[in-house]
Chain A
Amino acid sequence: MTSHAPTSPPRLPTTLLGQLRRQSPRFAVGLVLLATYQYGQYWFDTNLSIAIDAAVAGKKEIAAHIGALLIGVALSTLIIRVLSRMAVFNAGRIAEYELRKALLDQLQRLGPAFYRKKSTGDIMSRATNDLGQVRLLLGFGALNSMNTVFALASALAVTLRISGRLTVAALSTLPVLFVAMWGFSRAMFSRQRENQDAIGQMSAAVQSSISGVRVVRSFSLEEEEIRRFSITNADYLEKTLGLARLRGLMFPVMQAITAVGAIIVLWYGGRLMLGDELTPGNFMAFFRALSRLTWPLISLGFLTSIVQRGRAAFSRLEEVFDAEPDIVDGPLPAPLRVAGHLEVRGLSFSYGDHRILDGVSFDVAPGKLVAIVGRTGSGKSTLAALLPRLQPTPRGTVFLDGVDVCDLPLSAVRGSIGYAQQSAFLFSTTVGRNIGYCFDDPDGTVAMDSVRGAAKDAQIAEEIDLLPDGFDTIVGERGVQLSGGQKQRVALARAFLASRRVLVLDDPLSAVDSRTERAIIDVIEARRERQSVLLVTHRVAAAARCDEVLVLDAGRIVERGTHEELIGRRGLYAAFAEEQRVESELEALSGPATFAGEAVPA
């Protein structure tokens, strides 16, 4: 099974400069190809001019000879052009791929300190929009900055040889084109962002209206919801049309400016031609060279925005790359054998000023079952998450076989201390793959047998068989297709299957009825030689089956002992026990027929 945290693969460069350097061979090839391509264009135009003049003068052999050469050059520039784009654009895509890979590796290293501050949406926007901008910079941006230089050189070499004055006249419109495009590109980016924001707002309106459909119906808010939606719909329409106006304007303006250049050539060049200062071949070559310049200059207008945006986007990516993981590997090597003796010594923990745990100490010896009981907010869940270092465990407080868990590699700690939580997160794949999450090949026959076994242990196998596709039923996003109790048991099966020496279960049965809970505790007892369990629970019935019960209140252990001892002490635990005896009688009143109501929408 997996053993190493993702520090082992060689780290990919995560700076803009680093990526530029890493992709430099491709850029170099691209540079040479682009230079060659533009030289080919220069050669084509120059010889075209000669060929036309020869043809007009009636020297057909010369025209045919050069014409054949021109065809050959046109064919080879095709290949060069394709290769140049492939070299540079591929570099952009490969850089994007590597940055994305590095981003995920980094996200996997980061701990709760990071995820508390950054929402999933925020992270995803960096991974998609920002990364896209960076790719644009490294692909499109790089290609056009190189190409524009060569294109200018190649076109000017043609036109200046024909006529310096005509060149100046024709190029007079190009600065205008550049400035116009620069303005358009800026406006375009901001309109596009507005457009995205508008569709975001509209989605949010639909989302909340559907998530809150019950309230909408109960309060007859349909009209109001439609009105609110209409506002976002109208706004989106307006933004769409705004973008359309800009796009619609850009092309004609571009064309018009280019056409002015063409008219100048036509008129002034024509005059020169009449005065025999210009041959028809020259005229044609000039025309072509000028039109070759249009696109590179248009892209140049975009380039400034692309560079600016790419850099801003990259700085947002750097916030992720540069974030310091709050939970890291310890210096010691992974132990060869883990007995699984878990000790907690004087564990205190705070969020800011708010103290959650205060001097908690206890032992879970191999083969033992220990329960932690407490009210909501007593610090149970925090304690459970600290043991496998899913939260930043303070040094010198949690020991595995006598070694501080902070000194061990994370993979060794989490490979020995399993963890399943109350609000079970399931992946939107099949039930079988969720349970077999620890397998590399969860669909294999061996894996499927174990998956079924674990499902049986978690008392969910029969219910899975009743699902439309059994173990191959898709659970939906975060497991929406399953009821709360089913989700918890699928997560429990997943935790069983990972077979860690110690299993920390954070109230994994809160949505499971008591009969099923009993059966699951039976299984836990039967497995105790293989796996010791720390069971965080609010249920006394489950705690009663454990070797030791710890009662947590406001972050402190206030009582400890066996179930019988604690009941006899008539303290907090005894009070819980009484409350729950009452509840179980209530449950008995409701009977099994209505308990199926678990999945009923109410």
Chain B
Amino acid sequence: MTQKAPVAQKKPGTRAEAALRAFHEESAFGKAYDTRLARRLWPYMRPYQFWLWLSIVLGLVMAGMGLLRPYLMRITIDQGASAKDPKVLFWGGLSFAAVVLVEQVLNFVQVYAVQISGARALADLRRDAFGHLQSLRLGFFDKQPVGRLVTRVTNDIDAILELFASGALNAVVDLVKLVGIVIVMVGLDWRLSLVGFAAAPVVALLVQLVRRKSRDAFRAIRAKTAEMNANMNEQVSGMAVVQAFCREERAAHEFDVINSAYRDANIASIKYEAVQDAAIEMVTSVCLASIIVALGYHPVSFGTVVAFNAYLLMFFEPISALAQRYTLLQSAMAGAERVFGLLDLEEFDAPKSTDAASAVPAGEAAFSFDHVTFEYKPGVPVLEDVTFRVKKGEKIAVVGPTGAGKTTLASVLLRLYDVSSGVVRVDGADVRSLDRTELRSRFAVVPQDVFLFPGTVLSNVAVGDPTPDRARVEQALRRIDALDLFQRRPGGLDARVDERGENFSAGERQLIAFARALYRDAPIIMLDEATASVDSDTEARVQRALDELMKGRTALIIAHRLSTVRAADRILGFQRGRLVEEGTHSELLRKGGLYAKLHRLHFARQDEAALERASAE
């Protein structure tokens, strides 16, 4: 078995592998430099360009001072030697110290300035990317894995940030410095310079040779790291499956293939990095030795030798950093491309404000549907020619089999999706003419599957309120008779809510959602009753809470319980996207249509006693 697997791995062209490659293509590297992307980044840099320019200017100043240092050394040594005067040495040493001190202070300012410009600009880009996500229409999120979108805002932007943090942008200054060093050295003594630089082509060749391999190793490491973590993460989350199918050995083998590839890529990179480091050291030593050999035939001052040594060190250092910088640039560009790709999406949500100042004919209708048809997929209508009106303060129960389009009613009322034809009106105004926030602020929605945000019970009840009003939260919970339930928990209202509210039961989540709706105090309540069974104590609380919630409001309830249906003023029966009947409980029972059937089949079992009372009426 262990023999078979590597073969399976290496077989180049199975379609499954091609598909997998295409899926993971995200990790591929792009071009190293793309003018279009750089131009798009610029508006983000512009407000902080002062820091950017400062860092460049300081970089140049520092390059100059760096060039000055060995020169100072030379003067000090040579003049001290000829004057035989310790005073010269003292002043020379002092000025050297001054240069170093200023240089290091500037160095700090320079490094920090470039980071300020980068980090601030990218924080702005991050804000825009996140804000853009908040403005995209809901349909967009139906197709996108959450993790990928999170990556856009975090890792992809961090890849660009790395350019600033790593000092890769110093490459330009380094180039100036290299040229400076050559000029100074040639100026000092051109023949000795020739000897010194004789090794340069060898270094260039060596670095070039190693650079590509080192870059490949670096890329392999990055790709393998991601693959390895994904594989282990998946094995850990799906461990029950691995164990149930006895696939431990095979899974371990699969992991081992990635794990060894990761190790080997690292080992390769160790070799190349070591060669690069050592090569620079070797070359400076070789150059120094050659200069000394030359010194015998071509005497220069000792100070010059010291200065040459220092310049040579300075010369070869940035060359070794080049390969890594290139790779950083590439991954930054790839990150930028993905982030701007997101920002270019124009699938917008309903607009924030609309020009059509809605002249609201404030009638008695809270909302109405006028020949509304809606489809998620073209040709498959979920709502078809639906027309009804709901008066202010009216309580409407919506009933019908699964897939009849009940939940969609809420989505189009809030304009989370736009209808295909017909008009949805709220307070007499077409929802398309209303400001999105204004429209949605009239509703409090309780979905079937309640979503809780990470935070506390308090922050979840007062969701959307930057300063939660504890008294009002308590009041909301008290009104639905759930305050004690949450206060009993350790931490009370400040009890932590984990991701997606996993540490709360379905019933408790439901109650939090009710309290959320009460806290919001919107005129219209829309509620999708939970079908999930909860324990009977919570169930009773949920029932009482519902009555409290509807008090004095317009309510649209997708009902699964007889008690809810019976408490409604009017019942709408939906079937296959169509409104097939409406009326009160007893009217519809008498009519003997869909509701009567639903009632007989479904609700009857829930509460037989209630049914008996109902038919006695």
Contacts and interface: CB of A to CB of B under 8 A. Distances in A.
Interface string B291-332: 011011101001001100100000000000000000000000
B16 A443 contact: yes
Interface string A569-586: 000000000110011011
B234 A214 contact: no
B297 A60 contact: yes
18 contacts: A2-B248, A52-B305, A68-B293, A74-B285, A77-B282, A81-B277, A81-B281, A85-B273, A97-B263, A128-B229, A211-B500, A220-B440, A237-B123, A247-B165, A284-B306, A476-B145, A578-B605, A594-B404
Contacts of B89: 266-267, 270-271, 274
B4 to A, nearest CB: 5
Nearest to B450: A215
A94 interface: yes
Given A93-B267, A237-B119, A376-B533, A2 B247 contact: yes
A120 B1 contact: no
Nearest to B154: A203
A91 to B, nearest CB: 10
Contacts of A601: 139, 142, 376
A206 B127 contact: no
Residue of A48, A410, A477, A583 most packed against chain B (CB within 10 A): A477
Contact of A594 (B119, B142, B403, B444): B403
B263 A587 contact: no
A220 B403 contact: no
A283 B80 CA distance: 14
Residue of A112, A594, A600 most packed against chain B (CB within 10 A): A594
A234 B122 CA distance: 11
A428 B440 contact: no
Nearest to A469: B19
Contacts of A429: 16, 20
A63 interface: yes
B605 A579 contact: yes
A415 B244 CA distance: 8
Given A97-B259, A215-B453, A375-B533, 11 more contacts: A1-B246, A90-B270, A115-B236, A124-B236, A127-B232, A212-B453, A215-B463, A247-B165, A251-B111, A256-B101, A262-B96
Contacts of A110: 239
Interface stretch (B211-219, B387-395, B407-415, B545-553): B407-415
B292 to A, nearest CB: 5
B360 interface: no
A433 interface: yes
A104 interface: yes
Interface in A215-244: 215-227, 229-230, 233-234, 236-237, 240-241, 244
Interface in A553-602: 578-579, 582-583, 585-587, 589-591, 593-597, 600-602
Contacts of A245: 112
A585 B604 CA distance: 14
Interface string A391-434: 00000000000000000001100110011010001011110110
Contact of A270 (B76, B108, B246, B286): B76
Contacts of B204: none
Contacts of A96: 263
Given A218-B445, A259-B97, A432-B16, A104 B138 contact: no
A241 B116 contact: yes
Contacts of B1: 2, 440
Interface in B136-155: 138-139, 141-142, 145-147, 149-150, 153-154
Nearest to B601: A582
B591 interface: no
A427 B601 contact: no
A362 interface: no
Nearest to B96: A263
B349 interface: yes
Interface string B95-124: 011001101110110011001100110010
Nearest to B251: A108
A414 B244 contact: yes
B583 interface: no
Contacts of B597: 585, 589
Nearest to A491: B241
A586 B602 contact: yes
Interface string B366-407: 000000000011001010000000000000000011111101
Interface stretch (B7-15, B35-43, B176-184, B480-488): B7-15
A597 B403 contact: yes
A539 B18 CA distance: 41
Contacts of A111: 243
Interface in B563-585: 575-577
Interface in A430-446: 430, 432-433, 437-438, 440-444
Contacts of A473: 19
Contacts of B127: 226, 229-230, 233
Interface in B485-512: 499-500
Contacts of A331: none
A352 to B, nearest CB: 17
B416 interface: yes
Nearest to B11: A443
A1 B289 CA distance: 65
Contact of B247 (A241, A437, A594): A437
A248 B108 contact: yes
A410 to B, nearest CB: 8
B338 interface: no
Contacts of A273: 81
B289 A67 contact: yes
Residue of A5, A96, A217, A476 most packed against chain B (CB within 10 A): A217
B290 to A, nearest CB: 7
Residue of A75, A219, A442 most packed against chain B (CB within 10 A): A219
Contacts of A259: 96-97, 100, 104
B433 interface: no
Interface string A312-325: 00000000000000
Contacts of B77: 266, 270
Interface string B224-248: 0000011011111111111111111
Nearest to A229: B130
A202 B262 CA distance: 29
Contact of A263 (B97, B245, B279, B282): B97
Nearest to B92: A266
B587 interface: no
B244 A418 contact: yes
A601 B401 CA distance: 17
A70 B401 contact: no
A225 B455 CA distance: 13
A237 B127 CA distance: 11
A54 B289 CA distance: 13
A29 interface: no
A260 interface: yes
A206 B126 CA distance: 11
Contacts of A64: 293, 296
A415 B247 CA distance: 10
Contacts of B249: 2, 4, 6
A255 B110 CA distance: 15
Nearest to B113: A248
A120 to B, nearest CB: 5
Contacts of A307: none
Nearest to A47: B289
Contacts of B111: 244, 247-248, 251
Nearest to B513: A215
A601 B146 CA distance: 15
B73 A266 contact: yes
Contacts of A66: 292
B23 A474 contact: yes
B443 interface: yes
Interface in B504-539: 520, 533
Contacts of B416: 214, 217-218
Interface string A260-287: 1011001100110110000010011001
